[in-house]
Structure 1
Amino acid sequence: MKIYNPQVILFVTDVARAARFYAALGFTEEFRATGAGTAPVKIEMALDGFELGLALPGPAAEAHGLTPVIAGHRACLTLWTDDVAAAYAAALDAGAKDLQGPHPFLDGRLRVAFVEDFDGHPIQLVEREPTSGRS
């Protein structure tokens, strides 16, 4: 048995809007499924080998018998970057809600910021601080 290509699926209220938001952060669309109409019910996106699915909760519940939780901070997506301030600004420009601006973390070894996507999923943006000059 082989397990491969892990993917996280976030339940969202508007798949196309969520896909536009994540595209603004560098994700590219890999797959799209539509329901009875032309609106997508699921879009799969990728960034640097990571797979992210964006899906409507209703079709997932109907097709698979799931009970999607669609409120609160159900998961936190972490995105590493070489410039947390620029990534934070790009996320806000793409429509993210500000949770916490860039700040030092772990005794200054990292800089992190938090935003929230349109569906309330927190996104942690993380940058490793240069270690030069530190003992």
Structure 2
Amino acid sequence: MTFTNPQIILFVADVERAARFYAGFGFVETFRHPEVEPVKIEASLAGFELGFALPGPAAQSHGISPVTEGHRACLTLWTDDVTAAHRAALDAGAKDHRGPHPFLDGELMVAFVEDLDGHPIQLVERVE
């Protein structure tokens, strides 16, 4: 038995809006279904797969109970400039959670924002 291509799926209110937001971080769309008024879009960044799905159709099709509130998961994105990444995320509509701050005795600079559906995103820069 072999497993391949792991993917995280975020339940969102609008899959196209979520895909546009994450495109700002460099995610490239790889799949959408259906083409018009999609209920799921998948995107990739450096081999990491991220899906955006509407909770209603997922519940109906798969018999699951998507959670649509609170900090259900945290996406971490490493960057070479956490201050610029934080500013770009806010400019794209993200909600500020905690601005850039030192972490691990100053080894890292970290910031947190929430995407358009409230999922936390941790932006991390290694300080040299």
- State the 1:93 CA deviation: 1.1
Query: What TM-score does the superposition give when structure 1 sets the normalisation length?
Result: 0.93
Counterpart in 2 of 1:133? none
Unpaired stretches in structure 2, ≥5 consecutive residues = none
Distance 1:90 1:4 in 2: 32
- State the 1:90 CA deviation: 1.0
Query: What TM-score does the superposition give when structure 2 sets the normalisation length?
Result: 0.98
Counterpart in 2 of 1:16? 16
Aligned amino acid, residue 88 of structure 2: A
Counterpart in 2 of 1:34? 34
SS at match of 1:4: coil
Bigger Cα Rg: 1
SS at match of 2:39: strand
Match of 1:53 among 48, 51, 54: 51
Distance 1:54 1:94 in 2: 17
Q: String of CA shifts for 1:38-69, please: whole Å, max 9, x gaps.
A: 21100000001100000000111000000000
Counterpart in 1 of 2:113? 115
Counterpart in 2 of 1:78? 76
Unpaired stretches in structure 1, ≥5 consecutive residues = 131-135
SS at match of 1:40: coil
Q: Give structure 1 regions of 4+ aligned residues with deviation exceeding 4 angstroms.
A: none
- State the 1:32 CA deviation: 0.3
Aligned amino acid, residue 20 of structure 2: R
Aligned amino acid, residue 70 of structure 2: G
Distance 1:32 1:126 in 2: 29
Q: String of CA shifts for 1:60-117, please: whole Å, max 9, x gaps.
A: 1000000000000000000000110111111111110000110000100000000000
Number of residue pairs the alignment of both structures matches: 128
Distance 1:91 1:49 in 2: 21
- Percent of aligned positions with the same letter in both sequences? 73
Distance 2:120 2:40 in 1: 20
Aligned amino acid, residue 24 of structure 1: G
- State the 1:34 CA deviation: 2.0
